[in-house]
Chains A and B, each alone.
Chain A
Amino acid sequence: MTDPLALDPVLAPQDRARLPFNEADLSHDERFGRFEEHVLAGGKVESTDWMPDEYRQGVLRFVEMHANSELMGVLPEREWIMRAPTLRRKLALTAKVQDEVGHAQLLYRLAEDLGKPREAMFDDLLAGKTKFHNVFHYPTYSWADVGIIAWLVDAAAIVAQQALRDSSYAPYARTMKKICWEESVHIMHGRDVVVTMVTGSAGQRAAIQEALDRWWGPLMQMHGPRSERAKDRDIHWRIKAKTSEELRQEFLTIYVPRIRELGLTIPDADLVLGDATGIWAYGEPDWNELRTVVTNHGPKSEERLAFRRDNRAATQWVRDTILGSPAASPTAAA
């Protein structure tokens, strides 16, 4: 019940500020403590909020790697645009490539707001100082690879990305909602390619099985080795919510039945769902291969980075024009 005369403050002044770490007159340690308390309690952080360097660097590193992966991830698919079997497939694949580059743009934009210029991120990517996902270091041999990539690589990625919609860094969480929405279309496109081929000729079925055999290893490595939850800084800061093993288990739970439904054989004799535990056992992924590949020693690492270097040089005139005199723009002259 309201007493209109009850105008006394109901909160003490020190409790008033909603985000106390934004108070500039606090000591660093006090701000750090309050920031940590806020984030650990499920609070969100905006780009304009004060944040400790540990947090800023953590989000930046995570987002930059994600952006790099989107940018490099289009290269294996780009190679198939001109070889797509029908016009509709060609349009869908072109749109997918466009989407992934768009995701890279959105993510680089987030990283810029965290303090790293885009050109510096390209420099680091092309110099091998920053990484991109393991699955984009491999060659593609047939249209079946395009189907398996669009279905299962994107599926493994979306399992991770859906968990990022709750990230403590609010601009990232919002961007992930948009990205997940677009990725869900890619998965349908990929699944449709795979289902079409397994219901086609014997040769097409064999091609899909071969592609699955090629990609299963990298797929199982993709989320990374098991890590200790308590030691994971990205989880501590709630930049991400799930460990690599949780993501892998989730991927297996959803996608193993869907792969088997198509009569495909997963190339891992040890893959079995524990009846009591609900946890998948699987043959140990080749972590050495993962380390080799993500440090740019994969079969296609150098070639794809070289492509990006050439592409960057070849499009320099566009960036120069944008930053140059407005007279260079035909609409400005009109």
Chain B
Amino acid sequence: MTDQTPPDRDLDGTSDGDGRTLEPWEVFRREKDGDPMRHGGSVMAPDALLAVHYARELYGRRQESVALWVVRRADIHDLADPDLLQPPLDRSFKKPGGYVMRDKLAAARQQSGQAKPKARSGQPKRPTGPAGTADR
């Protein structure tokens, strides 16, 4: 998946003359097939070719990865504004835990005269977040 062509250099104009500039590249790794890409760390390199080479040395030397992504740090756009990501409003209606109906169910059973169903074994656990986020 790696583009072997060295990317445009010196985008920020910090290099002098023909010289190249080292810059940080973030490394993501997949530990085994089916796993999500997880951030591993970063390397300093002047271009994608060397960044991939360093990433392989530092994050794949021990056969601990089946795939690596290398991304120029400057190309990452981030969002950490709590007003947007953690708005201070009651959002419990968006979560399974926001619906508490124990007392209402008890009242419904009393009304219908039915017993509480037995818990099924192997019932899936109530999800706590989007897939793949539980271990973050």
Contact = CB atoms under 8 A, between A and B. Distances in A.
A91 to B, nearest CB: 13
Contact of A11 (B6, B22, B88): B88
Interface residues of A, number: 36
B46 A10 contact: no
A16 B57 contact: no
B86 interface: yes
Contacts of A118: 44
Interface stretch (A198-206, A232-240, A246-254, A325-333): A325-333
Given A2-B92, A16-B83, A325 B44 contact: no
A17 B88 CA distance: 10
B86 A18 contact: yes
A274 interface: no
Interface string A1-31: 1111011111100011110000000000000
A10 B89 contact: yes
A7 B44 CA distance: 46
Contacts of A329: 6, 49
A182 interface: yes
A175 B46 CA distance: 23
A284 interface: no
A43 interface: no
Contacts of A105: 43, 54, 57-58
B53 to A, nearest CB: 10
A303 interface: no
A323 B90 contact: no
Contact of B44 (A4, A99, A109, A171): A109
B82 A112 contact: no
Contact of A10 (B47, B54, B90, B99): B90
Contacts of B20: 322-326
B19 interface: yes
Interface of A: 1-4, 6-11, 15-18, 98-99, 102, 105-106, 109, 112-113, 118, 171, 174-175, 178, 182, 322-326, 329, 331-332
24 contacts: A1-B100, A2-B93, A2-B98, A2-B99, A3-B90, A4-B93, A7-B90, A11-B88, A15-B88, A16-B83, A18-B82, A105-B54, A106-B41, A106-B58, A109-B44, A112-B44, A113-B24, A113-B42, A175-B41, A178-B41, A322-B46, A323-B46, A325-B20, A331-B49
